[in-house]
Amino acid sequence: MAWNQKVLRVDLSNGSCVNEALNMRWAKKYLGQRGLGSKYLSEEIDPTVDPLSADNKLIFVTGPLTGTCASTSARYSVVTKGPLTGAIACSNSGGQMGAELRMAGWDMVIFEGRSAQPVYLVIRDDKAELHNADGFIWGKTVWETESAIRAKHGDSQMRVAAIGAPGERGVLFSCIVNDQHRAAGRSGVGAVMGSKNLKAVAVRGTGCVEVNDPDQFMQATNAAKAVLAEHPVTGQGLPAYGTQVLMNVINQSGALPTRNARDVQFEGAENISAEAMVEKRATDNKPNLVRNAACFSCTIACGRISQIDRSHFTVKERPEYWKASGGLEYENAWSLGAANGVDDLEAITFINFLCNEHGLDPITLGATLSAAMELYDVGAISDKDCGGIKLKFGDARALVQMAEMTISGEGFGKEIGQGSKRLCEKYGHADLSMTVKGLEFPAYDPRGVQGMGLTYATSNRGACHVRSYTVGSEIMGVPVKTDPHVTEGKAELVMAVQDATGAFDSAGVCIFTSFGWTLEDLAAQVDAACSGEWTVDKLVEVGERIWNLERKFNLAAGLTGKDDTLPKRILKEAARTGPAKGMTCRLDEMLPEYYALRGWTKDGVPTTKTLNRLKL
Amino acid sequence: MQQCLNIDPGKCTGCRQCELGCSFAHEEFFSSSRSRIKVFDLHDQGLFVPYTCTQCADAWCMAACPVDAIQVDADTGAKTVDTGVCVGCKVCTIACPFGTINYVSATGKVAKCDLCGGDPACVKACPTGAISYIDSDTAGFSKMQQWVDKTAAQHNVQT
């Protein structure tokens, strides 16, 4: 139990929807969600396929806790081969969608092939069918798509995950948005969905999720909820301020990449911080933040609901944006704000709304815009290239205009839509792309937080903060404080967090629980929910197995240890201000030790011994 | 003393723990559709509203039931459905002006909030105190208090 033991296989090439049994042998080895989805993908596709071809597959996968009352058990992941990186991609989303899939009776949906016509999938409990999207929702926004599907199928409770027009056109950092503003955000999974001519997935589940030992499960989940309620991060910081609680903290730590990482501190950080979001605006006497909100079953409720100032230039003439919607999280406030030197809170909230409405990853969008601003600054692109826009750091109007051009695909927006790696290469400044393996790094500068350098360099989906969030330890002191400026011990820390994260990401719960929960807390809940014995050791083993499985996929896809690196700027140009002044990221002090700890060769290849130990 | 569920939408984060607590207490599984309390998402206003039966004293559902399957729990005042008697005719679902009693096709009976015998699972599951179980005769007291505090604060500012 816990797993529904049902997989929906949708062949978009011939339109069939087939119900098949979940491979329980794999479920026991990979738990669910990220782990199980990655196992299915590696078994079913050739790692060298073109990510945007019919040969790639797209997997929506839940965890065994998804849809239960375990706190934060809202999660599902989208697993595929990523178009930005050519590496395995796995993007995790919350909201209501994952739980709805489980209540409809499924664990995962595998999309294969490519539809000749634009289609969308409707799942109503055990019934699934493809419908024509052409002349209906193709070309529409994510928000319009949700309303149109609900109206057409007469069900206001249907949950919809969709791509916007940029995803249809193949913008490489398109995401899949569900429940208006929760997203499988990174790695361009929306572009893969678009390449398959699949516009949306709509789900309505009236069934239930059952657990193996109900009494034990209630005890374990209640105890775990108490841990979250009592922890200062999950019980106070996140509900009150959201992830934006970090803006001022990271800025003061000298780890806030600013103006395409030219600097590590932003003079306007305060204006785009959590504290600024709750302050009443001079213009209308209302704060940007309306309230906090939770994903399904989440007792933390870090989500932000914001309302843009009606007199602001972005929405003055556009009342359709006056409503409340998904507000800024820290990564987005950084990518759209600090990364571009923009401190206009309302402008970046507006672009965040647009990202949700049209299905774009705000991290890569913001980071690519900041790379473009630097290209403009160094004279590699001109006003003419930008369609007359003066793309200067700090210019909120230019930022908004270019974001809108990226969405519409007009002019230079088309170049932005390829991500910063391709953009910077095209204009002869490959070094100005702040990416690892083609994915833009998020809101922590490795010069000020050394562990994050190793995290980005080794992350299997390209630069990513949620594969091993060592900021927890290095800045916040959770669970134990380590010095962010030293490299000693970081290889071990990164590896431990990577493996633990693999377990959290495969169970169906949110990684933010790991601020409060140990693996003991997670194991107690998984063990009560699932058949079989689930101990801490087993979860760590599952996490390590997943990490090596993903690594194996990437090596087979053509990546090598040489790709485990950082942008030159981070390795060579020292931080100019703040506590990390004078420092670069000393990746070379950490990487060899990391490979050794992992049981990999000095070139970063898992040894046969390691693979055998993990039964890979 | 009779108690009732008191709902404060301002405190609701939309997490649906109440729905999960409700379905688990009655069915031993997790199911939003089988919950007798539902959370509505007024997205554009940034508001979540939990909604369930208010246990009318003179209940439409009870009056409409042709087989007297709906009874009053003597301890709590809840209107409860005797599933052994209910024939699934759905007349109560038509009679209830609030929509809080519903037919369940899986069982062929109707289901509604029964206050869990005086220890409501939704209240215990709510992480923010948006749902409480309080003395029905003074349910408005906390709202009165809020207005008193607000008025007092304004008074202080003016003087």
Question: Which residue ranges form the domains of chain B, and what is each CATH number?
Answer: 1-52+115-159 (3.30.70.20), 56-112 (3.30.70.20)
What's the token pair of residue A327?
């507000």
* pLDDT score of B113 more than 90: yes
Residues of A in contact with B48 (CB under 8 A): 293
Alpha helices for A156-282 (secondary structure H):
165-169, 189-195, 214-230, 238-241, 246-252, 274-278
pLDDT in tens, A201-244: 999 999 999 999 999 999 999 999 999 999 999 999 999 999 99
* pLDDT score of A13 more than 80: yes
Fold that domain A444-613 belongs to in CATH: 1.10.599
Nearest alpha-carbon partner for A264 in A585, A587, A580? A580
* pLDDT score of A198 more than 80: yes
Pairwise CA distance, residues A83 & A34, whole Å:
18
| Domain extents in chain A | 6-204, 267-433, 444-613
If you measure CA to CA, which chain B residue comes closest to A94?
B15
Please name the residue that has the structure tokens 């008191």: B6
Pairwise CA distance, residues B42 & B22, whole Å:
22
If you measure CA to CA, which chain A residue comes closest to B22?
A69
Distance from chain centroid for Cα A329 = 12
Chain B touched by A299 (CB under 8 Å): yes
pLDDT band at residue B156 using 50, 70 and 90 as cut-offs: confident
Pairwise CA distance, residues A263 & A242, whole Å:
25
Contacts across the A-B interface (CB distance below 8 Å) = 81
pLDDT in tens, A455-492: 999 999 999 999 999 999 999 999 999 999 999 999 99
Residue window 511-570, chain A: list those with CB within 8 Å of chain B.
none
A301: region left, alpha or beta (phi > 0 left; psi from -120 to 50 alpha): left
Identity of the residue numbered B11 = K
Mutate which: B43, B48, B104, B123, vs A, most A CBs within 10 A: B43
Nearest alpha-carbon partner for A62 in A50, A74, A49? A74
A331 burial level (CB within 10 Å; 0-12, 13-18, 19+)? buried
Domain spanning A6-204, CATH class:
alpha beta
Identify whether the C-beta of residue A145 lies closer than 8 Å to the C-beta of residue A162.
yes
Pairwise CA distance, residues A166 & A610, whole Å:
41
Pairwise CA distance, residues B44 & A220, whole Å:
36
Pairwise CA distance, residues B9 & B49, whole Å:
5
CB-based contact A205 B24, cutoff 8 Å? no
b (16+ CB within 10 A) / e for A1-35:
ebbbeebbbbbbeeeebeeeebbeeebbbbbbbbb
| CA angle centred on B118, ends B16 and B54, rounded to 5° | 60
Average pLDDT over chain A, rounded to an integer: 98
What is the share, in percent, of chain B residues with pLDDT greater than 90? 90
Q: Quick one: average pLDDT of B9-34?
A: 97
pLDDT in tens, A54-104: 999 999 999 999 999 999 999 999 999 999 999 999 999 999 999 999 999
* pLDDT score of B45 more than 50: yes
Look at residue B157 in the predicted model and tell me its pLDDT: 62
Q: Quick one: average pLDDT of B132-145?
A: 92
Nearest alpha-carbon partner for A20 in A109, A111, A103, A99? A109
Measure A205 CA to nearest chain B CA, in Å. Answer: 8
What is the share, in percent, of chain A residues with pLDDT greater than 90? 100
CB-based contact B17 A229, cutoff 8 Å? no
Q: Quick one: average pLDDT of A415-421?
A: 98
Look at residue A502 in the predicted model and tell me its pLDDT: 98
Pairwise CA distance, residues A504 & A519, whole Å:
8
Q: Quick one: average pLDDT of A282-290?
A: 97
HSE of B83 in the Cβ direction (CA atoms, 13 Å)? 12
Q: What is the 3-class SS of A79-117, one letter each residue?
A: EEECCCCCCEEEEEECCCHHHHHHHCCCCEEEEECCCCC
pLDDT band at residue B159 using 50, 70 and 90 as cut-offs: very low
CB-based contact B13 A325, cutoff 8 Å? no
Architecture in CATH of A267-433: Orthogonal Bundle (1.10)
Alpha helices for chain B (secondary structure H):
17-27, 60-64, 91-95, 121-125, 141-158
Q: Show Cβ contacts of residue A289 under 8 Å, excluding neighbours closer than 6 positions.
A: A277, A278, A304, A305, A306, A327
Chain A touched by B24 (CB under 8 Å): yes
Look at residue B1 in the predicted model and tell me its pLDDT: 85
| CA angle centred on B63, ends B57 and B64, rounded to 5° | 140
Look at residue B158 in the predicted model and tell me its pLDDT: 55
Residues of B in contact with A209 (CB under 8 A): 29-31
Nearest alpha-carbon partner for B22 in A251, A94, A208? A208
Identify whether the C-beta of residue A44 lies closer than 8 Å to the C-beta of residue A55.
no
Q: Please state the ipTM of this predicted complex.
A: 0.96
A531: region left, alpha or beta (phi > 0 left; psi from -120 to 50 alpha): beta
